[in-house]
Structure formats: C-alpha cells, structure tokens
Amino acid sequence: MKELATKLNYITERYLDIIGIIFIVVNFIIWDLNTITLRDTQFSLYYLALYFVLVGIIINIKKLNILEYLSEIILFTLLFFVLVYNSYQINMSFHGTYVDMGLRSRELIKLVFPSLFLILLLYRYINPKAFIIGLVLTTGIILFYNIVAIYGKLAKMETLFQLPLLLNNRSQSLLDNPNALGEYAYLGCVFLFILAIISKRLSIKIITLALIPIMLGGLVLSGSRTALLMVISFYVLLLLYYPYYNRQFKNLLIISFLLILGFVLVDYTFHLNFIKEQLRLSEALSGRDKIWKVMMTVINENWLYGVGYNNSTFVFNESGEFSTLTSPHNLYLAVLMEMGIIPFILMVTFFIGLILSNQKLIILNKGNHKTMY
C-alpha cells in the first residue's frame, strides 16, 4: 500500500508540473499570434487549460497550505467583493442613454478571479525545475518571434507564412501588433537574465546572455517605446542592487553595460540614427497624452466606483474623442479608471508589498543565486 501511495503521489506531482509547463507555454502562443483560427478559439483553449489546472489542484489538495499565503488570499478576496459591489453602482449616460456598465464588469470579474486564484496556486506548488523548463520553452518561443522580426528586416520581407510582418513600418513578427513584439522582447530579456543567474555553468551563462542582443534587436524593430522604458527600468533596478550580487554576476552586468553603451555610441558617432528611427524618438506621445487627458476627466467623474472592469475601451469609443478603438496605455490609470479608488489602493499596496519582500530577500541573502532568481 505504501508503495502504491508513493507512486500515486509521484504521478499527481508530475501531473501538476506538466500542466504548469504547458499552461505557461500556451499563454505565450494563443493571445498574440496573428491567426484568425487562434483568435476564434483562444478563450476556449485558455479555459480548457484551466480545467486541467483545476484537476491538478484538486488531486494535490492535501499538499496545499492556504495559511502560508493567507494575506494574499485575503487581499484578492477583498478586491473581488469590492469590485462586485462597485459594479452594482455603475450606471453611465452616453448621449442621453443610460447604460448598466456594471453588468459586463460583473461577468468578467466572476470569470477572471477564479482563474487568478488557480494560477497563483499552480505556480506556488509546482516543482521549481518544472517552472524553469516552462521558462526555457517560453524563452525559445519569444526568441523565435524576434529572430523572425530581424530576418524579415534584413531580407526586406513583408510577409511570412502568409502573415504580415510589418504594421505602419514597425515590425510585429508573427504577432498581431508591434507592441506585443516589444513586450515579448522585454520579457525575453528578463527570462534570459533569470536563466543566467540560476545557471551554474559559466558557458551556459555566456550563451544565455549572448541571446539578449537578439531580444533587444526585436524590441528596437518593434518601435515599442514602452517596452524600451521597461527594459531600462529593469536594468536600472539590477544596478541598484549591484552590491548584493556575487562577483561573477557583477562582471556580467559590467560587460553587458559596456556592450549597450558601445552600441549607442556607434549609432550616435556615425550618425546611423537607427535607434532614433526605429523607436520613433522624434515623435511625441503618439496621441497618448490625449488618451490620458480623457482618462483623467473620466476618473474625476467616476473616482469612487470606476467605470467597470475592462470597460475603458467602450468608454473611449463612446466619448467621441477618438476615430479608432484605443486602450489606456497606462496600467495604473486604467486600474483607477475601471475599478475605482479602493481597488486601486489595494493593488498598489500589493505591488509595494512584493517589492519590499523581494528587496528583503535580496539584501538578507547576499550573493544567493536562488534568492535572486
């Protein structure tokens, strides 16, 4: 019986690990790949994957220690009920017609939050090695997207596999918009840094970091200034914690900094203007200042309850200020506009708590590569 129980325990744990790997890989394929088939089935695939996650959580229920993450559970549960309550208070007027904006918001909230809890539990309890495998596979997918973008630029190709590689002279690779490529490139840089940190062999560290220029090349070709800002912020954050790294990682940071500086100097010295042209640095905010101005007006009128979860695009469309559908382009303003002041405070508190706890881990475990990961 003990042998059977041991085998069953092994199977249930491996099931959770396999589902964790598949889930993270699937999410980097179904949402932004530029195919009609995926756009029509992406939600079905997502919820199918969630059902498998639910099965994994249920069969491993005895191993879950809910009290270990009680503060997070309380915060997200409170956020859920506040958003549901707010949704009953949202009734907006568009051109003299009153619309119950809370109904759609409630439906989405009831779908999103159970999914969020499942995902949080999944990645709390899968084996770290399984998570790393998922990270490696995901990084490979992102690397492929960026290689396609660079190859398309060098070969002057506009389509590949019958998919457009360019949108408004900006590379989008096989994805549905250039900003998605930029965001994936940023995540690729972060994932490669993590893999470099946790790798014990120097050769793997060097190979991993050598792939970062490919990610940066895709980012530049995407013309995504938001992604560029995120990369700069991430790099500045790495430098702020420089004293707490081991000598090997310090040397890798210095080398990477010199390589980036060298690329910028070559571009400036020889008047290549590659960075300026690809990232559209001569342009202003591409109309985002207008979007944010409208958002501030909406926030001023709906600061307590918001306009409803994921309703911002609908509000922009009905405002008459924009000729095409647009999005907030600012997560914090979007949270405040859609959810209201109390959920906004809860979310910001959660992010600050994560930053402080991670900072404590880094400082107290100086040079510990696992802690840094």
Residue 19, burial from CB neighbour count under 10 angstroms (0-12, 13-18, 19+): buried
Distance CA 121, CA 58 (A): 11
Q: What's at 349, amino acid-wise? A: T
Supply the DSSP string of 194-247, one letter for each residue. HHHHH--SHHHHHHHHHTHHHHHHHHHHHT-HHHHHHHHHHHHHHHHTGGGS-H
Q: Retrieve residue 101's tokens.
A: 């904006």
pTM of the model: 0.82
pLDDT in tens, 311-352: 888 888 777 777 666 777 788 888 899 898 999 999 898 888
Q: How confident is the model at residue 373 (pLDDT cuts 50, 70, 90)?
A: very low
Which of 38-52, 126-140, 224-238, 241-255 bottoms out in mean pLDDT, i.e. has the lowest?
241-255
Distance CA 96, CA 83 (A): 26
Nearest to 221 by CA among 254, 172, 187: 172
Which of 40-49, 103-112, 150-159, 273-282 bottoms out in mean pLDDT, i.e. has the lowest?
273-282
Q: What are phi and psi of 33, to 5 degrees?
A: -65, 135
Which of 58-72, 150-164, 272-286 has the highest mean predicted lDDT (pLDDT)? 150-164
Distance CA 6, CA 71 (A): 32
User: Residues 148, 160: contact at Cβ < 8 Å?
Assistant: yes
The enclosing H or E element of 190 equals helix 178-198
Q: How confident is the model at residue 145 (pLDDT cuts 50, 70, 90)?
A: very high
User: Residues 152, 182: contact at Cβ < 8 Å?
Assistant: no
> How many other C-beta atoms are found inside a 10 Å radius of the C-beta of residue 202?
10
Alpha helices by DSSP H, listed for 60-170, are 70-87, 101-125, 128-154
Nearest to 343 by CA among 104, 78, 29, 159: 78
Per-residue pLDDT, 345: 93
pLDDT in tens, 237-277: 888 888 877 777 788 778 777 877 877 787 777 666 666 66
Mean per-residue pLDDT of the chain = 81
Q: How confident is the model at residue 2 (pLDDT cuts 50, 70, 90)?
A: low
Q: What's at 220, amino acid-wise? A: V
What is the Cα 145 distance to its own chain's centre? 16
Q: What's at 57, amino acid-wise? A: I
Give the length of the chain: 373
The enclosing H or E element of 93 equals strand 92-94
Which of 8-17, 96-105, 125-134 has the highest mean predicted lDDT (pLDDT)? 125-134
SS3 label, residue 160: strand
Per-residue pLDDT, 186: 93
Over residues 294-303, mean pLDDT: 87
Radius of gyration of the chain (CA): 23
Per-residue pLDDT, 64: 73
Between 364 and 197, the more confident residue is 197
Q: What's at 351, amino acid-wise? A: F
Task: Find where tokens 């010295």 sit.
Answer: 269
